[in-house]
Structure 1
Amino acid sequence: MSDAQALSARLEAQRRAFAVEPFPSARRRHDRLARLDAMTRRHRDEIIQAIRQDFGHRADAETRLAEITPLRMAIHYARRHLRRWMRPKRATVPWRLLPGRARVYRQPLGVVGIIAPSNYPWHLAWMPAVDALAAGNRVMIKPGEQTPATSALMARLAERYFAPDELCVVTGDTDVARAFSALPFDHLLFTGSARVGHEVARAAAANLTPVTLELGGKTPVIIGTDADLEKAAERIAFGKWLNAGQTCIAPDHVLIEASRLVEFIDAMTRTVTTFYPRGSASEDYSAVPGEAQRRRLTAMLDEARDHGCRVIELGEHVALPDGGAKLPPTLVIDPHEGLAIMHEEVFGPWLPVIGVRDLDTALARVTEGPRPLALYAFTDDADLRRRLLEETHSGGVVFNDTLWHNAVPALPFGGVGASGMGAYRGEAGFLRFSLARGVFLQSRRSAVGLLNPPYRRWLIRLLGL
């Protein structure tokens, strides 16, 4: 059986199961979420080991911090609020239609497909599944092909904790991923690069499948004139070099007034030395998996050097026994706009730091550029915060820190423009994977019959129609 046929058979099995139970009870949904939580909790050490194997090296603490804990927090949040989300919502009825009533019912869509990337293989596969299961759907997941050990573990555990017509994990190469994206799901969520996102959207369009795309982009950091540079350096370094920069919402570049540039570089250097005392060889610093990814990053940095950029490496290139490597935290000072490091998402440990004339210039650069998945600003200036919120667009905004909006289960997570479309997480995710079904309940004592033909012109004028 071909990949496409096998995938279609799985989808059809889930469709049949959904037809038997088109509106799962709150108890059934709670049970599914509880099983996902138990699976993650009981097999935490196996998950950590599989991810470490796929990466060549990944600090155990980072996997717990970025993969396991946020997922379990999201599950607990969904279970706590699920009954309220499921309740029909009252809708206001125009006075001319009273005493009729209106409600909005939130109905499961059916079967939701999820295509996950390899940078956070557990988190980004299961986090949207939390919302899809809470909304009462069946789920099919295609994890990233660059993390085979984690994907295999995911598939084994899914078979143990879920019926295949309830939730299943499909492993395979890019051909399987293409066949998966061409399935007629009721909704398809993709997390990954913009290039692949275009392909997924085209494949889904053939079936008129609605999509949610999380694509990343060039997340800027603006440092205000009132910012404490030591504190800003600490929070930027955490967000940038968690997972060696392989985070879709990692700081991509920093915009700071040129007069404070040297001071900021010194603060970043001190911070990285504190975080990683042995440089790239530190246990808490992660590897960059995949030879193609490392070649891309190396070429990006070499181009910056060749064009005269000042490059400050805060560690050494460390080769790993399995052929992988750790690439050092690196600052690239004032790169030119035409360089790849300035027009491609870095998605690695290089951090461009750009000196600007003033904050108006920094704000203009953000406003004129592609809309990012996140925007970070270090300032307590209320006017600057207001301008950032009103004049710029981004998926999320964090003041005086980085990344942590992603750890708040109640906040929607999603992109805008070049960084994606649609949001999920929490109630936003429940709504994303639900059909908001408008229902009108006519009263037996309704007077709308007076509007039947032949029309009474005086009544229509009286009612202001």
Structure 2
Amino acid sequence: MSVQTSSAQVTAANLESSDTSSFHEMNSILSSMKRAHLKSGPADAELRQDRLLRAIRLLKDNRVALAQAMSEDFGHRSTYQSMLADIMTSTLALQHAAEHVAEWMSAETVDVEQGMQARIQPQPLGVVGIISPWNFPLNLSFGPLAGVFSAGNTVMLKPSELTPRTSELVAELVGRYFDPMEFVVVLGDSKIAQQFSSLPFDHLLFTGSTAVGKQVMRAASENLVPVTLELGGKSPVVIAPDADLPTAITRTLTVKTFNAGQICLSPDYILLPQGSEQQLIDAAQKFMQQGFPTLQSNPDYTAIISERHYQRLIHVLEDAKQKGARVVSLAPSGEVDFDASSRKIAPHLVLDVTDEMAIMQEEIFGPLLPVKTYQALEEAIDYINQHPRPLAAYYFGENQTQQAQFANQTTSGGLVINDVMTHVTIEELPFGGVGASGIGAYHGIHGFRRFTHAKPIVIQSKEGASSQRIRAPYADKMAQLEAFLSQ
């Protein structure tokens, strides 16, 4: 493990992940940060804005080096995708918070009777822990800071070990831009992450798989640490009979090819009206010809993050073939479907799928897209409701009655009609899951509230009328109480 311990440098502790001293070192840092937070008192609006703006400067000033580090970690990652999804999106979230933090901090006055005064005072929680994943290593580390810093908290970050160059560079840069009592980065493997999730934070945010999310929640419960879990699941795309199918598949594949489908909100399967399969294939092939005339040498197409994930996706694809699926590769003419040396996998449509196939049982997190057909919209709705609630659902169709039916009869973290993933780009909307896809939401003011304690404050009147009614003797108050209850 290595831990950022000063504003100027990163100190390598070089501890084995099984060594309990790593836990004690992290706990010592957390204790120091908690003491500093209490000693300094709640951060004012100016300090909160300053922290948000420093995070923006860190990202903008070092965007080239950060994009290069991410590409090296992936084997190859589109520079445009890194600049857009990790740099720009994060800075927009931080900027939005910087512009509104003074407004969000204002106490809310509550109307009360009998001469009392009451207000709800937003209060910082303290030190927030963030465990971020590899697929968007900056977006999912710095995006949450919009809520964490605007709420007046400080932060300990554990970035993914699957993006070591990016994580090490982030640790180094945080040391330049932040005091160690404001922002600390902890580096290490998955066992260090397990220890990190056991620390007594004031709040813990985890982004990752549902399986690991259960472990994080279990560890946090030992200290009664409140958690926000941003998980995943199988987000469906429902194409209604009245939908413009070429538009639907174009917008679906736009996201499915972004980051090679390695996105928690990526479409995980399509529910398609029976008989539309060939139209879907034709539209998908046209999309690929226009957007990705080449793949293996194309700088716009991202590799799979690791050999293990690459092999997992190939196994899922082969399992579907063996169990009777019809696989349609969208690789450009003359190119291989996938290449172990580049770890690039072409998008594949997988038709005639069944629930016995691994591709329909686990989150894909790659450029494979199963297609399941239905005869009536109710059948598609029933299928979604028979499975764990997804992080997002996507519906394509123009009939407003059917749009409302789908919205009312399915439950998902978010719903987008006639597009895919658009909701996550709107900072004023809460982003989060439901059920197996997550607990809690953030973004914009919802992030501020997520990392804030809404503290009720009451100032009693001089007369103290409200407390008089519970003071004995009660006999002279009984008639008044009976009169009220008999109304």
What band does the TM-score fall into relative to the shorter chain?
over 0.9
Q: Equivalent residue for 2:203?
A: 187
Aligned counterpart for 1:402 among listed residues 420, 426, 444: 420
Deviation, 1:43, is 0.7
How far is 1:460 from its partner?
Answer: 2.4
3-state SS of the aligned residue for 2:356? coil
Indicate the residue corresponding to 1:241 in structure 2.
257
Alignment of 1:2-401 (within 5 A): 2-93=21-112, 97-315=113-331, 316-317=336-337, 319=339, 323-401=341-419
Separation of aligned partners in 2, 1:262 and 1:358: 19
d(CA) in 2 for partners of 1:114 and 1:449?
43
CA distance in 2, matches of 1:380, 1:107: 45
**Higher mean C-alpha displacement, 423-432 vs 323-332:** 323-332
CA distance in 2, matches of 1:179, 1:252: 31
For the 8 Å contact 1:257–1:358, the answer to whether it is kept is yes
Instruction: Please say if residues 284 and 330 of structure 2, whose CA atoms lie closer than 8 Å, have aligned partners that are also in contact.
Output: no
How many residues end up aligned between the 2 structures?
A: 460
Task: Flag the 1:450–1:181 CA change in 2: closer, same or farther, 3 A.
Answer: closer
Unaligned 5+ segments in structure 2 are: 1-14, 16-20
Q: 1:194 to 1:449 in 2, by over 3 A?
A: closer
Shift in Å, 1:299: 0.8
- CA distance, structure 2, for counterparts of residue 364 and residue 286 of structure 1: 35
Give the residue type in structure 1 aligned to 2:451.
F
Q: CA deviation at 1:21?
A: 2.1
8 Å contact from structure 1 (residues 287, 325) kept in 2: yes
> 1: CA distance between counterparts of 2:131 and 2:295?
34
Offset at residue 459 of structure 1 (A): 2.7
Distance 1:341 1:448 in 2: 62
CA shift for structure 1 position 319: 4.1
Which letter maps to 2:77?
A: R
Measured after TM superposition, the shift of residue 225 of structure 1 is 1.6
The alpha-carbon distance between structure 1 residues 313 and 453, as it changes in their structure 2 partners (threshold 3 A), is same
Cα distance in 2, alignment partners of residues 324 and 274 from structure 1: 22
What value does the CA root-mean-square deviation take over the aligned residues?
A: 1.4
Rounded Cα–Cα distance in structure 2 between residues aligned with 1:404 and 1:254: 17
Kept after mapping to 2: 8 A contact 1:289/1:324: no
* CA distance in 1: counterparts of 2:278 and 2:387, whole angstroms: 25
Separation in 1, partners of 2:94, 2:366: 29
State the 1:317 CA deviation: 4.2
Where does residue 481 of structure 2 map in the other structure?
460
| Cα separation, 2, equivalents of 1:449 and 1:20 | 35
TM-superposed CA distance for 1:324, in Å, is: 4.4
Distance (Å, rounded) in 2 between the aligned partners of 1:226 and 1:129: 42
How many angstroms does 1:449 deviate by? 5.3
Q: What letter corresponds to residue 306 of structure 1 in structure 2?
A: Q
How far the C-alpha of 1:99 sits from its partner, in A, is 2.1
* In 2, Cα distance between equivalents of 1:127 and 1:334: 39
User: Following the alignment from structure 2 to structure 1, what is the Cα–Cα distance between the partners of residues 467 and 337?
Assistant: 80
- The answer for the alignment partner of 2:7 in structure 1 is none
Q: Identify which range, 14-23 or 297-306, moves more after superposition.
A: 14-23
Of 445, 450, 472 in structure 2, the residue corresponding to residue 427 of structure 1 is 445
Q: Distance in 2 between matches of 1:391 and 1:174?
A: 38
Contact in 2 for aligned 1:182/1:204 (Cα 8 Å): yes
Contact persistence 1:141–1:168 (CA under 8 A): yes
Quote how far apart the aligned CAs of 1:279 are. Answer: 3.2
Q: Give SS of 2:187's match.
A: coil
User: Within 2, Cα distance between the matches of 1:225 and 1:166?
Assistant: 53
In structure 1, distance between residues paired with 2:440 and 2:481: 42
Paired with 1:42 and 1:318, the residues of 2 have a C-alpha distance of 36
Q: What is the distance in 2 between the residues matched to 1:441 and 1:402?
A: 49
Q: TM-score, normalised by structure 2?
A: 0.92
Aligned equivalents of 1:116, 1:6: Cα separation in 2: 20
Deviations 1:121-164 (A, max 9, x none): 11111111221111001100000000000000100010000011
Q: 1:464 to 1:442 in 2, by over 3 A?
A: farther
Shift of 1:101: 2.4
Q: Distance in 2 between matches of 1:367 and 1:241?
A: 27
Contact 1:281 1:318 in 2 (8 A): no
TM-superposition CA deviations, 1:14-55 (whole Å, max 9, x none): 111101123110001000001001111111111110100100
* Residues 329 and 337, structure 2, Cα contact 8 Å, conserved in 1: no
CA distance in 2, matches of 1:367, 1:13: 47
Mapped partners of 2:237, 2:388: distance in 1: 14
Q: Which amino acid aligns with 2:41?
A: P
**Distance change in 2, residues 1:147/1:324 (3 Å):** farther
- What is the rounded CA distance, in whole Å, between the counterparts of 1:7 and 1:79 in structure 2? 29
Paired AA for residue 291 in structure 2: F
Secondary structure of the residue aligned to 1:157 is helix
Structure 1 gap ranges (5+): none
The two structures have a TM-score, normalised by structure 1, of: 0.96
Aligned twin of 2:8? none
Whole-angstrom CA distance in 2 between matches of 1:249 and 1:59? 19
Give the secondary-structure state (helix, strand or coil) at the position aligned to 2:420: coil
Aligned-pair distance for 1:334?
1.8
User: What is the rounded CA distance, in whole Å, between the counterparts of 2:378 and 2:223 in structure 1?
Assistant: 45
3-state DSSP class of the match of 1:212? strand
Alpha-carbon spacing, 1:307–1:318, altered in 2? closer, same or farther (3 Å): closer
